[in-house]
Amino acid sequence: MNFNLPVLAPSILAADFSQLGNDIEQCTDAGIDWIHCDIMDGHFVPNISYGPAIVKAAAESAPEAFMDVHLMIEDPDKYVGDYVDAGADLITVHYEACPHLHRSLQNIKKYGLMAGVAVNPATSLHNLEPVLEYADLILIMSVNPGFGGQSFIESSYDRLQEMARLKEEKGYSYLIEVDGGVGLKNIEQVRESGAEILVAGSSVFKAENIGNRVKELLSKL
Ligand code: DX5
Ligand code: ZN
């Protein structure tokens, strides 16, 4: 699939769940066509967010949007089918949660979806080398996973640059996604460091006017 890069990907983790459809529509009306869904199980990360039913509701609120599901859960292989049924277009699993990572990616691709790998801030990027040729997306966590509204971890800039260098040097086709602490103050530097898909939760959904904030962020990409 070809994407009009860079992409701003609102994370609905920060949305007002009492009016999720309306919050999402404010994003799509402002030009968003990629929605990021953060799934947390309270085991892999110290927080529980939401499950397939909310992903399905979000997908129905934005039928044209690309649904990007980030599984911050233990044993993700067990739940991939549920997120396929909920309308996911891409599913990302954590390197740290997958003892058989290559098989986990095969398990996602067999449904015809794109498959991504996420790494936490303390995980060496060298661990990804065996799957870079096979992954459709690499997600660089720029916060410790589990909560929205955290500060961007500065070392993430170098990690994004490393993934961009490798992609260029080896001719890999993975998309480079960044997730956590992205906002008006740093979005340009994050983009310049190589991020192609920029996840933003609080910066979008905690703004006074979601649509205007989306346009402001897009204007900086
Ligand atoms: C962390 C979550 C957050 C979320 C983005 O586990 O994955 O990074 O997507 O949240 P903000 O943009 O509020 O940091
Ligand atoms: Zn995420």
Q: Which residues are catalytic?
A: 38, 179
Sketch out the chain's domains with CATH numbers: 7-220 (3.20.20.70)
Q: Is pLDDT at 1 greater than 90 in this prediction?
A: no
CA of 118 to the centre of ligand 2 (A): 9
Pick from 135, 140, 155: nearest CA to 90? 135
148 lines ligand 1 (CB under 6 A): yes
> What is the enclosing helix (H) or strand (E) of 205?
helix 202-205
Encode pLDDT of 26-62 as tens digits: 999 999 999 999 999 999 999 999 999 999 999 999 9
136: its two tokens: 């459709």
pLDDT, residue 39, reads: 98
SS3 readout for 119-150: ECCCCCHHHHHHHCCCCCEEEEECCCCCCCCC
3-state secondary structure of 162: helix
Strand partners, 93: 71, 117
CA 165, CA 174: separation in Å to the nearest integer? 12
Instruction: Spell out where 56-127 has E strands.
Output: 66-72, 90-94, 114-119
In the structure, what pLDDT confidence band is assigned to residue 203 with cuts at 50, 70 and 90?
A: very high
Q: What is the mean pLDDT of residues 8-23?
A: 98
> Which residue is closest in CA terms to ligand 1's atom 10?
148
Q: What is the mean pLDDT of residues 97-103?
A: 98
pLDDT, residue 2, reads: 82
Q: Which ligand 1 atom lies nearest to the CA of residue 181?
A: 14
CA–CA distances in Å: residue 187 to residues 127, 159, 175, 199, 216: 27, 15, 17, 10, 11
Mean residue pLDDT of the chain comes to 98
pLDDT, residue 165, reads: 98
CA of 153 to the centre of ligand 1 (A): 12
